[in-house]
Amino acid sequence: MKKVSLIFTLIFIAGVGFYSCEKTSLIEETVNEPLNQELLFVEPSEEVIDGELFIDGISQKEVITDFDLENAIVIDGRLAFDNHEALMKGIDKLAEYNTESVIAWGEKIGFTSLFAELTRIEERPVSEMQAELDKGDMLNDHFHITKDGELELTQQTVLLSRMFNTQGLVQVGNFVGSFTEGLNVWVEAENTEKLITALKNRHIPESDKDFYYTDKSAFEPNKNWVESTTCPKYTTWIGPNRQYKNPTQNRRIDVRNSYHELIIPTSGTTGFRREYFYAIETT
């Protein structure tokens, strides 16, 4: 089932607070109460003008906007940014464009992202989704099918899935890495295959100096990828997918909050830089 394009709100911050948290499922949660948000959940207006559908005054025509990311190229099927600053600007820019534009951009530069696979596979009948996941090298590590037949990302947010390849990798300078809740690991580009093997095996050898990591708790045997805390603490956090309804229950909006601590290599082989941002994804 095809979903509408996402709207992202990014807030880049310099600090982090501490909260009291509980575990919850990442799969989905429906909130039936209007939560005093009557102004947000109003009935949509629909009209057809010159054969084109408008909802709430917004054209539903798929508009493709051509764009490029500065200081970013494709190397061995992964997106490679020149440096930390290029990566942060890239994340910010990818949040500006609709689904169709991001897919067209990836096709133009020869890059297949997790986001591209999400949009492709979720259009397939539910009975065919698992077979599509099985065709990919690591797609089963990055997606799951919910009890309602929806395809969901398992380890990444939709926003960051736009820059990760289908193995969950991105390159910054000469470092190739993967980061999400409970995982932040990098290697120099020449050791990329070792990183892929470690991700597949969910194991980083303690004595292997080729790996640079700050967190590998995601590899713990009892880690449940579809379970998370309900609020951010001091590291990357991906909240549950919540669905809100208006009082007449004829319009819904899916909301997911995420908080990211990005510890990313900088120029050279010894420097790492920490950055934080908060994102709200809505459909």
Query: Could you give the percent of the chain with pLDDT greater than 90?
Result: 39
Element (H, E) at 160: helix 158-161
How many domains does the chain fold into? Answer: 1
Does 65 reside within a domain? no
Name which of 227, 226, 232, 193 is nearest 210 in CA terms. Answer: 193
Q: State the pLDDT at residue 132.
A: 95
Residue ranges making up the domain that contains 261: 7-33+74-282
Distance set, CA 192 to CA 1, 94, 239 (Å): 35, 25, 30
Q: Is residue 48 part of a domain?
A: no
228-276 pLDDT, tens digit each: 444 444 456 666 666 666 555 555 666 777 777 788 877 655 577 888 8
Give the HSE-up count for residue 181: Cα atoms under 13 Å, Cβ half-sphere. 24
Q: Is residue 43 part of a domain?
A: no
Assigned domain for 64 exists: no
Q: Is residue 47 part of a domain?
A: no
149 within 8 A of 126, measured Cβ to Cβ: yes
Angle at 15 between CA 9 and CA 21, to 5 degrees: 80
pLDDT of residue 84: 87
> Which helix H or strand E contains 257, and what residues bound it?
strand 252-265
Is 40 a domain residue?
Answer: no
Please give the pLDDT value at position 8: 54
Between strands 29-31 and 242-245, the pairing is parallel
Residue 245: predicted pLDDT? 61
**Top-confidence residue, 215 or 227:** 215
What is the rounded CA–CA span in Å between residue 44 and residue 149? 26
Residue 210 to residue 195: CA distance in whole angstroms: 9
E-strand spans in 130-238? 143-145, 151-153, 170-172, 175-180, 183-188, 212-215, 227-229, 237-238
pLDDT at 29: 42
Q: Determine, yes or no, domain membership for 191.
A: yes
